[in-house]
Amino acid sequence: MFLVGLTGGIASGKSSVIQVFQQLGCAVIDVDVIARHVVQPGYPAHRRIVEAFGTEVLLENGDINRKVLGDLIFNQPDRRHLLNTITHPEIRKEMMKETFKYFLRGYRYVILDIPLLFETKKLLKYMKHTVVVYCDRDTQLARLMQRNNLNREDAEARIEAQLPLKDKARMARHVLDNSGEWSSTKRQVILLHAELERSLEYLPLRLGVLTGLVGLASLLYLLTHYLLPSP
Q: Are residues 6 and 73 in the same domain?
A: no
Report the C-alpha gap between 6 and 18 in whole angstroms.
9
Is residue 209 assigned to a domain? no
Q: How many residues does the chain have?
A: 231
pLDDT tens, position by position, for the chain (231 residues)?
899 999 999 999 999 999 999 999 999 999 999 999 999 999 999 999 999 999 999 999 999 999 899 888 877 889 988 998 999 899 989 999 999 999 889 899 999 999 899 998 888 999 999 999 999 999 999 999 999 999 999 999 999 989 999 999 999 999 999 999 999 999 999 999 999 999 877 556 555 555 665 666 666 656 565 555 555
The per-residue pLDDT for 73 is 87
Distance linking the first and last C-alpha atoms of the chain: 43
User: 100 with 151, same domain?
Assistant: no
Residues 94 and 138 in one domain: no
Q: What is the pLDDT of residue 222?
A: 62
What is the number of structural domains in the chain? 2
For residues 90 and 83, the answer to whether their CB atoms sit within 8 Å is no
Residues 194 and 92 in one domain: no
Going by C-alpha positions, the residue among 133, 100, 97 that lies closest to residue 114 is 133
**For helices 66-73 and 77-104, what crossing angle results, to 10°?**
130
**Does residue 224 sit within a domain?**
no
> What's the confidence (pLDDT) of residue 221?
59
CATH number where 4 lies: 3.40.50.300
Give the domain range for residue 86: 39-106
Containing 131, the helix (H) or strand (E) segment is strand 129-134
Q: What is the pLDDT of residue 142?
A: 97
Among the candidates 62, 78, 106, a domain finishes at 106
Per the rule left: phi > 0, alpha: psi between -120 and 50, beta: everything else, 97 is alpha
CB 128 within 8 A of CB 23: no
Q: Are residues 23 and 116 in the same domain?
A: yes
pLDDT of residue 129: 96
Residue 10 lies in a domain: yes
Question: Which residues lie across from 2 on neighbouring strands?
Answer: 109
Give the Cα-Cα-Cα angle 215, 217, 223 (nearest 5 degrees): 105
Is the domain of 116 the same as that of 100? Answer: no
Nearest one of 87, 13, 104, 78 to 50, comparing CA atoms? 87
| pLDDT of the residue at 204 | 61
Q: Is 116 found in the same domain as 99?
A: no
Residues 84, 185: one domain? no
189 and 146 together in one domain = yes
